[in-house]
Amino acid sequence: MQTEVIIKCLCGKEVVLEVEGGQYPNTYNGDCKCGRKWTLTELTEILEEIDNC
């Protein structure tokens, strides 16, 4: 299972999101250096959409 996801913040920096685990196995959290907090859920569906492009 993938435990890290890299997204691009609105400020242009890359942010590494790490899976929360425990009772939220599909939730990824990460903080950008600019101060924004990011949360991704249901990532599997997002990845499927990317594959279809």
For Zn ion, give the closer residue by CB, 21 or 31. 31
Min separation Cβ 22 and Zn ion, Å: 26
Is residue 40 within 8 A of residue 2, CB to CB? The reply is no
For Zn ion, give the closer residue by CB, 4 or 21. 4
For Zn ion, give the closer residue by CB, 4 or 14. 14
CA–CA separation, 14 vs 6, rounded Å? 6
Chain residues in the site for Zn ion (CB under 5 A): 9, 11, 13, 32, 34, 36
Q: Rounded to 5 degrees, what angle do the CA atoms 42, 22, 35 make?
A: 65
